[in-house]
Amino acid sequence: MSIRIKQIIKSVNSILLIISCLLVIGISYAQKPIGRFQTDSIELGRPIDYALSYHHNPSAEVFFPDTTYNFYPFEIIRKNIFQTSTTNGVSIDSVIYTLVTFEITKNQKLGLPIYVLSKRDCTMVYSLTDSVFLKEMIKTSVDSLQLKTDTKLLLLSQQVNYPKIMTYILGILGVVLIIYALFGRFIRKQYTLFLFSRRHVDFLANYKKFTRSTLDDVTIGKALVLWKKHLEWLEKRPYTSYTTKEIVSRLPSARLEDALREVDSAIYGGILSTQMPSAMNILLDKATELYKNRREELAASL
């Protein structure tokens, strides 16, 4: 009986030993991830490295947080993944995250999870929280600072606001196109009539220069040529090559015929009568009459 009891005790001891070994192995495989800042202090806006490692069974699949994870109060800049290392049946995975903070909290903490994938589910295991202290770059209170009341102005070079200029140009072009679409025909008509009138005004100014000066055969000859050229433009006929008879035949008028004969007598015969100023005015009146007729015809055709 004592032998049997000894055998039972021995079996129980063996079972307890096996359970203890399994517990030790399980504990070694189920330990928490290790997360540590590489320095104990941080400056606002300056990068800092945070190392996260995990010891696990080589057969297990583990995942570390990626860049989409919320690292608040930090923001991730990049991450550096190290290749899995296995020693004595234990695998180690590690990642170094480069973080930055813009929070002004003096003591900032961070703990990250590891995702362990199994056949049934995915287990999330958090590392112990590690903290880092924010360095104060300005130790003097702003209220105690002595501000300068008089400083030299720094001249800045003017910069051209090209987008604003382009907006104005496009706006002006748009307004012009709208106006042209609505009043384009009217504008073209008025512009054509303006050019037509302008040429007649120039003729009047030049012609009157001759008539106001001393009337001799040379001056009267130049005035007659100018008059014929103007009629040639108005009538679209070769008046500069017409004789007095041909002009009267084209423009029948007793007053005009008498005026042209006076002009011919002065140019070709050297006879200057007292009726010469009146004759020059008759030629001018005829040119003005033809201009008005042609302007009415032009306005009606536009």
Q: What tens digit of pLDDT does each residue of 236-263 get?
A: 999 999 999 999 999 999 999 999 999 9
Asked whether the predicted pLDDT for residue 64 surpasses 70, the reply is yes
Strand partners, 42: 134
The verdict on whether omega for the bond into residue 73 sits within 30 degrees of 0, i.e. cis, is: yes
Q: Using CA atoms, how far apart are residues 71 and 233, in angstroms rounded to an integer?
A: 88
How confident is the model over 263-280, as a mean pLDDT? Answer: 90
- In the sheet that holds 48-56, the strands lie side by side as 34-37, 48-56, 90-101, 74-87
* 8-state DSSP, 266: I
Domain 30-134: which topology?
Answer: Immunoglobulin-like (2.60.40)
How many CA atoms does the CB half-sphere of 110 hold within 13 Å?
30
| Phi, psi for residue 123 in degrees, rounded to 5 | -95, 135
* pTM for this prediction: 0.46
248: its two tokens: 């009267």
Domain limits of the chain?
A: 30-134, 193-301
Instruction: Identify which of 49, 56, 50 has the alpha carbon closest to the alpha carbon of residue 33.
Output: 56
Question: pLDDT digits over 180-228, tens only?
Answer: 888 888 889 999 999 999 999 999 999 999 988 888 889 999 999 999 9
Determine the 3-state secondary structure of 84 from DSSP: strand
The torsion of the CA quartet 233, 237, 241, 247, rounded to 10 degrees, works out to: -100
Q: Where are the beta strands (DSSP E) in the chain?
A: 34-37, 41-42, 48-56, 61-63, 74-87, 90-101, 107-110, 113-117, 122-126, 130-134
Q: Using CA atoms, how far apart are residues 201 and 139, in angstroms rounded to an integer?
A: 85
Map tokens 């010469």 to a residue.
276
